[in-house]
A and B are shown apart, each in its own frame.
Chain A
């Protein structure tokens, strides 16, 4: 990615995000992985987010919920209810029996996106690591652009953890807005909490 533009801590977040994507079996790097890395980080931005209820457990739960929603997406519930099948009951059973990886994988397979390994990494933005390329999902570029702007507004130019956090919160694309809404959190309030935290620190 833009290694030189990230502070060492910022770079650690990007690496953790990539690792979360791989662990969950996603074939892309998404802003939800950056969010998961941030809220898990031993950093003021991570602490501020956790204090407001954005914990790694809850973020991961929402990521799995999105996968399950895509697994059952587009199915006519009313039609099935008419013959006595409650899709939500089936879904609850599936969610309780399968692990996050299985649900994420099936959710992606249902969506049948482009055959990602064939994408040309030189023409698609994304992240390389250990010979595996993960393309950026919608929302990542926007978040990184936001983060870059946050960094430029400060004294330094490198993108730090707090800039990544603010950049993610400001993104309108990708799953982060949906995750925040599902948890009943407001992006502006979280932004204020992060800025507060760094003001105290400086």
Chain B
């Protein structure tokens, strides 16, 4: 675990960076990553028989939102 201790200051430095270029890019990338994981997780939940209501509840959005976003894609399967 020595390596994580060593790299911790680097990360803290970047996270605390007030440089908008670093910070904003990180936010955008995080959003992109969340989008990809959402697709994977929603597909999987639907395959396991979860209802749109249940999925929406976990994602913290309305059933309409999650349905509008994902139903077209997963609907045919």
Contact = CB atoms under 8 A, between A and B. Distances in A.
B73 A83 contact: no
Nearest to A70: B36
Contacts of B25: 76, 79, 82
Interface residues on A, range: 20 to 34
Given A84-B15, A117-B76, A76 B28 contact: yes
Given A76-B28, A110-B39, A117-B76, A83 B44 contact: no
Contacts of B40: 71, 94, 98, 102-103, 106
Contacts of B22: 79, 82
Contact of A102 (B30, B33, B47): B47
Interface residues on B, range: 20 to 34
Given A75-B33, A76-B29, A98-B44, A82 B15 contact: yes
A119 interface: no
Contacts of A55: none
Contacts, number: 67
Contacts of A90: 33, 37
B76 A75 contact: no
Secondary structure of the B contact surface, majority rule: helix
Secondary structure of the A contact surface, majority rule: helix
Contact of A105 (B14, B17, B37, B43): B43
Contacts of A81: 14
B36 A106 contact: yes
B26 interface: yes
A109 B73 contact: yes
Interface of B: 11, 14-15, 17, 22, 25-26, 28-30, 32-33, 36-37, 39-40, 43-44, 47, 73, 76-77
